[in-house]
Structure formats: structure tokens, C-alpha cells
């Protein structure tokens, strides 16, 4: 099968992309999620309900009102460290002596705003799907606290980062989104949130208020975590927290139904001021729950404990009297319900473990062998016995001690369930990764072996897919691969992505692997039997292809590259390195240009050096010559009998060298431009030439 070098390269690129996609699909954790229908499912009743207990309803809410104060990039030491003591006196007082619970919440990478908001509200772990979906930020379809709260008739008000408005377009009774587009602005963006506060805190017509402040994150991006601006911003946030807390306390009428104020961050901030990766500074965020329900006795010292960020979803659901989101992998933060009667505590723990074990059942085929599931069954049984005892003889110390034992069992089960779910989500799919790697390597070898042919005069390749010897090898390989696939996919607990594909698609991948291997092998033999190669080139030379394409590869590359780059600009919340695609594009373009020029001038393509384009019209010259080449036999004539005489004049030695050097010159200029101002996070620590010039 004979192919033009452009078609061949495009084919290889497609295969490479397919291989990389397969690899990534295996590399990113498969999402642990619940496929069950969202509504119309009654909550799990208390064990032994019907027999002796009749508590089948969801427990009532613990808090009347909830205010979530989300400060973007609120690292744990901004609140609990020396900066907190210095700049957030009110918060420090609450953390150390007030009625509050403090935690260091660990965020999972990618530590970027949208996936973190999702994790906070759904309690689920991010998967490959999330990374893809983040590119166009659609409505959050997964079961989450906000949707549940709205369904329960809660009135929710939101002010802050407009990501929330995109995620929940119809959920808020009132909202004002601020854009995170102007990173250099850290004042207005927060004032736009604060200006609503005075009015809304006086009003009675809401149940949930969410505020998302972006200023701190912007300061981080501009000048890093040790900038003096951070201190100012933290003081501002502290006064806002004080304002909200005093307003909530003033309004609290019913001591049995207090309000809850949640201070949290979505992710941390690296020492360079960015975020996205998994360093300790980016992963650890502060989480403080403030409510008069957490009143402490004198001398009660509470240190911040470590929790997962995903634990907030379950805690909020229980605090608001809502069902726990179905895909939640987090556990209830137990100190929140510690002050409640034993029966309620056990009920909350039961609801959480039931939800987690259901999720485990849906995602793990051999779930009943998991230790967490067994622990859950044991605790449920002891819970049932305890209820019977509790209803018979109330208020005895024996009942309380037994209850404490059941509680311990539940907490252990909760921990193990969480662990096996998160391990599940962090499992690599080695089979898909291996297949992806093989595809990429095969395409790469084929490309490398074809370089001599691609550089030859006609830029044509004879891809030996159809020769009969190949066929035999091909069928044998296909058979072996199919056998391997069946063995891997029928193994006990396989959860490979490739196995979940329809047989036809998997078969296609196997065919591709076998075919590529055959092609690679025969390309290899051809390289060793060199003469044959030459004769094929000659053959190709005699029969030029009849191509009518009006676009050259370079045109196509610049067009598709530009479109791709423009599209990538829309993904500001996930990739903070969009400019990398631009660098990549420009470099590729230069190298492709270089390849064209060298082929023409050095390898005697189109024969004599006089066909080297003129320096002045270098780009036009190449394009004209290229298009001439593409246009087939007539075009061939065209480039010999130049359309634009000036472009194909004979070149003197020095000019010729300039033509040859120009792509490298352009590349060097690009590199220089790049170091003029290093944007993004990755190279932010390198000194900028621009700074040096303006100094």
C-alpha cells in the first residue's frame, strides 16, 4: 500500500493519539460512582425497624441555617499557622477557645477550583471523566448536596466565583457571579461579594448562603504566599467571618436548632503561588466549622484533625437533614454529631455506612469479601441488638456503654469502607496502559524506520500491509492477542477499560496492534535489504500520485494548531499552562519548515539548488513549491517552470546558507521571547529577561 508522507504521518499521529488516550484512560483512576437513579428512594431505616423501632424517616436537620464561606486557596497554615495568629485574630480565637471544630482537609489532585468544588459537594473522587468534562464546565449532573438541598425546599443564595453558577444554573434563589478572568484584580472581585453581605444577613428568607472569595487565590498567582498582600487579605477575610458569625449569633432563637458557619478553602497554594499539583502546600486546606452546638467545656483543647475534603459532603447532608449523595466516598466528621444522643449518633453512622457499602456493591464485584463490608454487617447486627435493648430499658449505663461499643464498630467500618473506595479510585488499569504504550511505541518505530523514505525525493512510502508473508504473521499475532484479551478479561476481578469495550472495538485495537507490528517488521527488513528500498523509491518516482488536495501539510498544521490553541484557552480552570500549546505549535511549525527547506536544498529534492526559495520570500517560496508538488504532474512542471520567477531565482552561496539557517534563527528568537516573560506555574521560578530589562 503506497501512501504520501503527509497521509502516513497523519495516520501515525492518529494512532499515537489513540495510544496516548488509552494509556491515560488506564492511568487516571476510574471514577467510583453510583449509577442508580437519583430520586424516589427512601432512606435506610434504623436497624430492626418494624420489629421494635419505627424510625424510618430521615433524621431532622441539626442546623437551621448554613453559611459556607469558601476562600479560594486557603492553605491550612493561613488559619492555623503564624499568619493566622497574626492576621486572623477572631478566627484564631474561635479555633482555640470558641465553639468550633477545626480540621485540616486534604484535597485530592488536581488541586484546581472546579474539581474541588465538585468534591466538596458530591463527596466523590475525581476520575478521567472529570478531567475531560472540566474543559467545558457543564452543569453538575452527579448527585450532590446543593441539588438535594434544593429538592428539600431549601432556599440557597450564592455570591462569588461564577464557576458555581455554571455548575448549578437553576439552584440559587439569588446569585451574583464574579469572574476569575482578571487575575490581577484582587480587590474588586471580593468587594463584589461583600457588598451583598449587610443586606442578606438581615434577611430571614434563606436557609443556605454560599460565598466564594477569589482574592486570596489571585494574590497567590500574582505575588506568592509570602507577599504582604496575603496578610491584608486574611485580615479582610477575618473581619468578614466576624461579621457573619455575629449576625448569625444575634439571630439564633432556638438553642436546639443553631446555625452553622463553614470556613473552608478549595485547595492550597504552592510556594510559587500557584496550585494544581499534589504538593503538601497545595493539598492541605483549612476547614473550620463554627456553631453554638460545638460549645466546649473549660479546658477542652481541640487541635485541628486531618480529614478528607470529601468528608464535608456527608457532614453537610447530615447537618441539613438531607440524604447523603449517592457517589459520596467521604465519611461523616464525627465530632459534629458527638453532642447528640447516642441513638441519633448511631443512626447517622448507620446512614453513612449504608450509603458507602451500597457504593462499594456497585463498584466492586467481590464486595462481600471486602473487610469494610464485613465490618459494616457486624456493626449493623450489634446496632439492631442495641436498639432492642435501648427500647426495653432506657437510660441505663449498660445501654450507654454498649452503644459506645457499637459506635466504635461503626467508626472502624466507616474508615475501612472509605479506604477501600479510595484505593479503588486510585487503582491503575495496567492492561489498558500496556496496550496504549505498545500502540505508541509501534507507531514511533514505524515513523523512525520511514524517515529515509520520507526524506527522499517523492516523499512517498510503501507501507507493506498487504504482502502475503505479513498476512501469515498478522493472523498468528491476531490470534495470540485475542487469546490474551480473553484471558485478561475473564480473570477474576478485572475492571479494565478495554474489557468494558464492545468486542468489536477491542478487536479493532488488537488488529491495529498486529498490523502495526507487521508493518514495522517488514520496514525493518527493508532497511537491512537496502537496495529494495531504492528501487521502490524509483518506482514511486515514475508514478507520482494523483493528489488534488489544495492544502499543504503546513497549512493544515497551522490551521488545526491555531484552532486547537484557541479552544484550549477556554479551559482556564484546569490548565494554567495554555501557552505551552502555542510554544509547541510554533516549534513544530519551524521544524516542519526546516524539514521542507532541507529536503529541497540539501537532498537535491526537486534537483538543483536553484529551486531553493529566495531568502526574501522564503515562506511564500516554500508554499508555492509545496503546492506545486501537491498538484501532481502538472504541478511538477509548475515548480520547474516557476510561476513567480523571482522566488525561484538561482541563489548565491551566502543566501542559500541564510535560507538554511532561518528556521533555526526563528526557533532561537522564539526561545528568547519565551524567557522574556515566563507565564504559568511550571517555570515561574526562572528569572524573566523582562524583569532584567525594566530594572
Binding site for Zn ion (CB under 5 A): 72, 113, 217, 266
Residue closer to Zn ion (CB basis): 237 or 516 = 237
Residue closer to Zn ion (CB basis): 382 or 573 = 573
**Angstrom distances, CA of residue 348 to CA of 57, 122, 148, 218, 630:** 12, 18, 17, 39, 72
Q: Min. distance of Cβ 299 from Zn ion in angstroms?
A: 38
CA neighbor of 87 nearest in space, from 100, 78, 96, 95: 78
b/e per residue 8-17 (b: at least 16 CB within 10 A)? bbeebeebbe
Q: Min. distance of Cβ 577 from Zn ion in angstroms?
A: 13
Using an 8 Å Cβ cutoff, are 123 and 330 in contact? yes
CA count, 13 A, side-chain hemisphere, 561: 18
**Cα 659 to chain center, whole Å?**
44
| Cβ-based neighbours of 349, under 8 Å, separated by 6 or more | 332, 334, 407, 410, 411, 414
Q: Min. distance of Cβ 265 from Zn ion in angstroms?
A: 8
Nearest residue by C-beta to Zn ion?
A: 113
Q: Min. distance of Cβ 150 from Zn ion in angstroms?
A: 24
Q: Min. distance of Cβ 117 from Zn ion in angstroms?
A: 8
Give the strand pairing for 284-290 and 260-264. Answer: antiparallel
Q: Tell me the backbone φ, ψ of residue 340, rounded to 5 degrees.
A: -80, 165
Residue closer to Zn ion (CB basis): 187 or 547 = 187
Residue closer to Zn ion (CB basis): 214 or 293 = 214
Q: Min. distance of Cβ 184 from Zn ion in angstroms?
A: 13
Give dist(CA 95, CA 245) in Å, integer. Answer: 13
Residue closer to Zn ion (CB basis): 106 or 266 = 266
Q: Min. distance of Cβ 392 from Zn ion in angstroms?
A: 53
Give dist(CA 343, CA 400) in Å, integer. Answer: 10
Q: Min. distance of Cβ 277 from Zn ion in angstroms?
A: 12
Q: Min. distance of Cβ 275 from Zn ion in angstroms?
A: 6
Residue closer to Zn ion (CB basis): 161 or 605 = 161
DSSP, collapsed to helix, strand or coil, labels residue 470 as: helix
Using an 8 Å Cβ cutoff, are 156 and 150 in contact? yes
Residue closer to Zn ion (CB basis): 180 or 327 = 180
Residue closer to Zn ion (CB basis): 275 or 424 = 275
Residue closer to Zn ion (CB basis): 190 or 266 = 266
Q: Min. distance of Cβ 684 from Zn ion in angstroms?
A: 13
Give dist(CA 460, CA 547) in Å, integer. Answer: 12
DSSP codes, 25-51: HHHSPPP----S-SSS-PPPPPTTBTT
Give dist(CA 452, CA 458) in Å, integer. Answer: 11
Give dist(CA 70, CA 68) in Å, integer. Answer: 6
Amino acid at each position: 500500500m503506497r501512501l504520501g508522507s503527509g497521509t502516513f504521518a497523519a495516520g501515525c499521529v492518529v494512532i499515537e493519539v489513540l495510544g496516548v488516550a488509552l494509556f491515560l484512560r488506564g492511568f487516571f483512576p476510574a471514577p467510583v460512582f453510583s449509577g442508580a437513579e437519583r430520586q424516589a428512594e427512601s432512606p435506610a431505616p434504623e436497624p430492626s425497624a418494624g420489629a421494635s423501632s419505627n424510625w424510618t424517616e430521615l433524621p431532622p436537620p441539626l442546623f437551621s441555617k448554613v453559611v459556607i464561606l469558601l476562600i479560594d486557596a486557603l492553605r491550612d497554615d493561613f488559619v492555623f499557622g503564624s499568619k493566622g495568629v497574626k492576621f486572623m485574630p477572631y478566627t484564631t480565637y474561635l479555633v482555640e477557645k470558641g465553639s468550633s471544630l477545626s480540621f485540616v482537609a486534604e484535597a485530592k489532585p488536581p488541586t484546581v477550583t472546579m474539581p474541588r468544588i465538585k468534591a466538596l459537594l458530591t463527596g466523590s473522587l475525581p476520575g478521567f471523566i472529570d478531567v475531560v468534562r472540566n474543559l467545558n464546565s457543564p452543569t453538575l449532573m452527579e448527585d450532590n448536596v446543593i441539588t438535594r438541598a434544593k429538592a428539600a425546599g431549601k432556599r440557597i443564595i450564592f455570591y462569588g466565583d461564577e464557576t458555581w453558577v455554571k455548575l448549578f444554573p437553576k439552584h440559587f434563589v439569588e446569585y451574583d457571579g464574579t469572574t476569575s478572568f482578571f487575575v490581577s484584580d484582587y480587590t474588586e472581585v471580593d468587594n463584589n461579594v461583600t457588598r451583598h453581605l449587610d443586606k442578606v444577613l438581615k434577611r430571614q428568607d434563606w436557609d443556605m448562603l454560599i460565598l466564594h472569595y477569589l482574592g486570596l487565590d489571585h494574590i497567590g498567582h500574582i505575588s506568592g504566599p509570602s507577599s504582604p498582600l496575603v496578610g491584608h487579605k486574611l485580615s479582610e477575610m477575618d473581619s468578614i467571618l466576624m461579621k457573619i458569625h455575629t449576625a448569625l449569633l444575634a439571630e439564633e432563637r432556638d438553642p436546639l436548632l443553631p446555625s452553622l458557619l463553614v470556613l473552608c478553602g478549595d485547595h492550597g497554594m504552592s510556594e510559587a503561588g500557584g496550585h494544581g499539583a499534589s504538593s503538601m502546600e497545595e493539598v492541605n486546606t483549612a476547614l473550620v466549622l463554627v456553631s453554638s452546638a460545638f460549645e466546649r467545656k473549660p479546658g477542652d483543647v481541640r487541635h485541628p484533625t486531618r480529614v478528607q475534603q470529601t468528608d464535608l459532603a456527608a457532614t453537610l447532608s447530615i447537618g441539613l437533614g438531607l440524604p447523603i449523595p449517592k457517589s459520596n466516598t467521604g465519611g461523616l466528621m464525627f465530632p459534629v454529631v458527638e453532642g447528640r444522643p447516642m441513638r441519633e449518633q448511631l443512626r447517622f453512622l448507620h446512614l453513612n455506612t449504608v450509603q458507602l457499602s451500597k457504593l462499594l456493591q456497585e463498584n466492586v464485584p467481590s464486595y462481600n469479601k471486602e473487610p469494610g463490608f464485613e465490618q459494616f454487617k457486624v456493626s449493623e447486627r450489634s446496632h439492631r441488638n442495641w436498639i432492642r435493648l435501648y427500647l426495653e430499658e432506657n437510660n441505663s449505663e449498660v445501654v450507654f456503654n454498649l452503644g459506645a461499643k457499637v459506635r466504635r464498630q461503626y467508626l472502624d467500618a466507616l474508615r475501612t469502607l472509605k479506604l477501600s473506595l479510595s484505593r479503588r479510585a486510585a487503582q491503575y488499569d495496567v492492561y489498558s496502559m500496556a496496550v496504549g504504550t505498545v500502540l505508541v511505541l509501534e507507531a514511533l518505530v514505524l515513523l523512525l524506520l520511514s524517515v529515509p523514505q520520507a526524506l527522499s525525493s517523492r516523499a512517498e512510502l510503501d507501507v507493506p500491509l498487504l504482502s502475503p508473508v505479513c498476512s501469515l504473521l498478522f493472523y498468528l499475532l491476531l490470534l495470540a492477542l485475542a487469546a490474551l484479551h480473553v484471558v485478561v478479561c475473564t480473570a477474576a476481578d478485572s475492571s479494565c477499560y478495554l474489557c468494558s469495550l464492545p468486542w468489536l472495538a477491542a478487536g479493532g485495537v488488537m488488529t491495529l496492534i498486529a498490523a502495526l507490528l507487521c508493518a514495522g517488521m517488514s520496514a525493518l527488513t527493508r532497511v537491512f535489504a537496502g537496495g529494495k528500498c531504492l528501487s521502490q523509491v524509483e518506482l514511486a518516482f515514475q508514478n507520482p500520485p494523483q493528489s488534488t488536495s489544495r492544502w499543504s501539510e503546513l497549512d493544515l498544521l497551522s490551521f488545526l494548531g491555531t484552532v486547537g490553541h484557541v479552544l484550549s484557552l477556554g479551559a482556564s480552570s484546569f490548565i494554567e499552562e495554555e501557552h505551552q500549546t502555542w510554544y509547541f505549535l510554533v516549534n513544530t511549525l519551524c521544524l516542519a519548515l526546516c524539514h521542507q527547506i532541507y529536503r529541497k536544498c540539501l537532498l537535491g529534492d526537486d534537483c538543483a539548488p536553484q529551486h531553493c526559495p529566495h531568502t526574501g520570500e522564503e515562506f511564500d517560496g516554500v508554499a508555492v513549491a509545496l503546492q506545486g508538488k501537491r498538484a501532481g504532474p502538472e504541478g511538477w512542471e509548475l515548480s520547474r517552470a516557476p510561476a513567480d520567477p523571482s522566488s525561484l531565482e538561482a541563489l548565491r552561496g551566502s543566501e542559500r546558507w541564510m535560507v538554511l539557517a532561518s528556521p533555526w534563527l526563528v526557533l532561537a528568537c522564539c526561545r528568547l521571547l519565551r524567557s522574556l516573560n515566563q507565564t504559568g506555574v511550571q517555570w515561574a521560578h526562572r528569572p524573566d529577561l523582562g524583569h532584567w530589562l525594566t530594572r
